[in-house]
Amino acid sequence: MVTVPRLDPVIHAPHRLHICSLLTPLDEAEFQMLREALGISDSALSKHIKQLEDAGYLRLRRATLNGRRRTWAQLTPTGRQAFAAHVDALTEIASLAHSSQ
Amino acid sequence: MAIFPDDPTPDEATRALTSIERMKQFGLSKGLYSRWFAAAVSSWSAAMAVATVYDGPLATWSVATLLIAGLMALGAWRHRAVARVRAVHGTAEAFAIVVAAPLVMLGLGLFAAQAFDASRQWWIPSASGAVAALVLFTVLELLRHSTRRRVTGRPS
């Protein structure tokens, strides 16, 4: 019997998967950069970020510099672990194609 | 944008992994300094080295102006940054950044200044600037490549 690897439902949604992918190599990224990279509206991005925040995968930092308010997002250690596990699960599923050939 | 089903097939999982890799590369390109940035910092260090070693009538002003201009440019660059890359350096790299590179630059500057004082050869300040730029550019490029390799598992 083949055990199907478990995917994280919080991360698996395409936009949240892309948010986590973008943030993986980074310490933090500005909200605006994420919005432009994903090509979605502020409200849609906020919704996805909120879901990641609620799961404890992401945290926000607000900073004001020269009167300009900026919001930075970063993955938490839990978020990094969950994302790594999710990528492992995807890799395992992808490898099934090779093993079945 | 691709939709990844709850129970993806191997092909869908492969597509998701490709998409993850693409986004990682994009994030890294936003967070990591470019080769042009490394070249600009190296040119600045060359100008600093030449001005310091040359020790002409306006040397102090030149060094002070270059220093202030450099700090302002760095501040502007940080202000414009939209992402900050994760620092994932090993012990050897951290040692190279914090101790070895500044010591090499300082040693080079002192040696060149003494050599110029003793001989007044015109090419010594220029040569020290060229060496400083080369050392810094090499260190910055090595760091850029190793950071990219560590984060994505790929060379740049």
Residues of A near B (Cβ–Cβ under 8 Å) read 4, 7, 9, 12-15, 17-18, 21-30, 32-33, 37, 65-66, 87, 90-91, 93-98, 100
Q: Does residue B3 have a pLDDT over 60?
A: no
Does any domain span residue A1?
no
Does any domain span residue A3?
no
Is this model's pTM higher than 0.80 or not? no
Residue B106 CA to residue B112 CA, distance in Å, equals 10
- Report yes or no: B91 at the A interface, CB cutoff 8 Å: no
B109 and B53 in contact (C-beta within 8 Å)? yes
In degrees, to the nearest 5, what angle opens at C-alpha B75 toward C-alphas B147 and A59?
Answer: 60
The model's pLDDT over A40-54, given as tens digits with 9 standing for 90+, comes to 999 999 999 999 999
Residue B107 CA to residue A42 CA, distance in Å, equals 52
Residue B123 CA to residue A27 CA, distance in Å, equals 43
Q: Where are the domains of chain B?
A: 32-152
Q: What ipTM was estimated for this complex?
A: 0.86
The model's pLDDT over A52-80, given as tens digits with 9 standing for 90+, comes to 999 999 999 998 877 778 899 999 999 99
- What is the rounded average pLDDT of the residues B71-92? 81
| Domain span at A19 | 9-91
- Most B-contacting residue of A3, A15, A24 (CB-CB within 10 A), to test interface: A24
Domains: count for chain A: 1
Does any domain span residue A97?
no
